[in-house]
Chain A
Amino acid sequence: MWIAYKTIVFKEVRRFARIWIQTIIPPVITTSLYLLIFGGLMGSRIGQMQGVDYLHFIVPGIILMTVIMQSYANTVSSFFMAKYNNSFEELLVSPTPNWIILMGYISGGVSRGFCVGLAVTFTISFFVEIRPYSLSILMATFFLTSIMFSLAGFINAVFARTFDDISIIPNFVLLPLTYLGGMFYSIDILPSFWRGLSSFNPIFYMMDSFRLGFLGIGSVELWKAFMVPLLMILLLALIANYLLNRGVSMKTE
């Protein structure tokens, strides 16, 4: 069972490492551009946000956005391609339990989130000094975020029938939610209505705890910031496991 798990994870890691020009380089370039434009050029005009320089303020958001997008992209593309070229049948004919398959794919997504997140952090270190406030809060938030979005990507891949279906959610749902989740601003500056609306955005909680771990500043209580992704993970894991057990869009009914 664990051999099968390890096999899936190594296969996933090898897959994204093999195409590093597509998976690792673009986020690094995007990050550099964000830091140059929003941090370097505009940041000095904006001044401070929640008591820190604007450049420092946006760094956690940029890293977490990368983790979100990369974790999601890994599972959605890998699982969709496995369905598309029928190579998923290699797993279906094997005695690998469905929950191991799910864990394998999620671990693949987390691995990519971690590797690309690390590459982006390394790039950022050329622009700002990185001295985390709490590494444990940072890592806990990273894992919760990465697992949650890997699961979401997996569910997207189960239902996806065309290549368009795997790009709709990242472009039309994830990116706006990330931008509106306090990546570039503190929700404290929003009018009360918009602040209330932001509390329905799960990314806001992750962004908040990640910023707490990075800079020591946060808007919501830590337990609440952890509880939201935890509950989301539980819900998404149940859905993903159910879909796998039913063989939805994998087995012909």
Chain B
Amino acid sequence: MALALSTEKLTKTYSNQLKALVGINLKVEKGDFFALLGSNGAGKTTAIGIICGLLKSTSGSVEINGLDQKTNVNKIKRMIGLMPQEFNFNPHEPNVEILINQAGYFGVPRSEAIIQAEKLLKKMELWDRRFDIAQSLSGGMKRRLMLARALMHKPEILILDEPTAGVDVEIRQSMWLYLKQLNKEGVTIILTTHYLEEAESLCRNIAILDKGELVEQSNMKKLLLKAKHQVLIIESIDKLPENIVVENCDCEILDDHTLQVFQGESTSISDVVVALSAQNINVSHLRSAQNRLEALFLSLTN
């Protein structure tokens, strides 16, 4: 499979000697929906900054669609659409102008940009606010405006740095659907997010950065299989008995009706339910105490 993004020993040390990236080798396939995760300060935004040409790397290389970034800067910039983490538009400019100007910087004629802006503003449910200044938008609306702006020049690769931070649940769901649709249409999407369920739900492949180092790069499903231990929260209709035993699992009664089960390696959820039924416990509700990816993420990033 051809690569949309490839970095080789990418390193960034800031002038204050902070090592933001330590020789990372990142591979993203064309058409992928890729999650780049890491805690605050892990180096995600630095990596994105270098890929988009906002930052200079200290050493290493970046290739976009097989083109070396150092020798094809402008060609590469045309391929990438960036939605940054921080709001970075002129807050006093009308929303529609922000989009049209951005397209203009990428060489899109104004007549085409107007059509594209209308399409995207409608998609992002911002059409009614097109002549308002950006400052007047809510946080979630500003995020959607930035997503629309990143798409104005129809990029092949879309980089989203915390796209749904501060966006309400309903809009987040519609953004997810739209991103999935874009991905289906062939746009490679690289996503960083703190909402791990978002990454789990959207992305096929994943990389995890920790203190500037790449600690994991894998297929999402394969990675989730590594989540051997799961903590289950089980609710019972009846009052729980005092001694509950489930083979290979540790059980802890949280209250009269709630049980916490630390699932053993060789024990499936069905085994747990069967064992509880055998002890006359009717399971009314069952959930995982922690998102699987979250558990893995925490274990990988210490």
Contact = CB atoms under 8 A, between A and B. Distances in A.
Given A93-B52, A93-B77, A86 B107 contact: no
Nearest to B88: A86
B102 interface: yes
Interface stretch (A3-11, A30-38, A165-173, A234-242): A3-11
Interface residues of A, number: 27
B62 to A, nearest CB: 14
A247 B15 CA distance: 14
Given A85-B88, A87-B88, A87-B89, A4 B107 contact: yes
Contacts of B100: 7
B104 A7 contact: yes
A82 interface: yes
Given A87-B89, A89-B88, A95 B14 contact: no
Contacts of A4: 104-107
B54 A90 contact: no
B105 A91 contact: yes
Bin the interface of chain B by size.
35 or more
Contacts of A93: 52-54, 77, 80, 82
Contacts of B55: 251-252
Interface in A135-160: none
B84 interface: yes
A129 interface: no
B138 interface: no
A94 B105 contact: yes
Nearest to B102: A90
Contacts of A227: none
Determine which residue in A81, A89, A97 has the highest number of CB atoms from chain B within 10 A of its CB, and name it.
A89
B109 A85 contact: no
B30 interface: no
Nearest to A250: B54
Interface in A30-87: 81-82, 85-87
Interface of B: 14-15, 49, 52-56, 73-75, 77-78, 80, 82, 84, 86-93, 97, 100-102, 104-110, 149
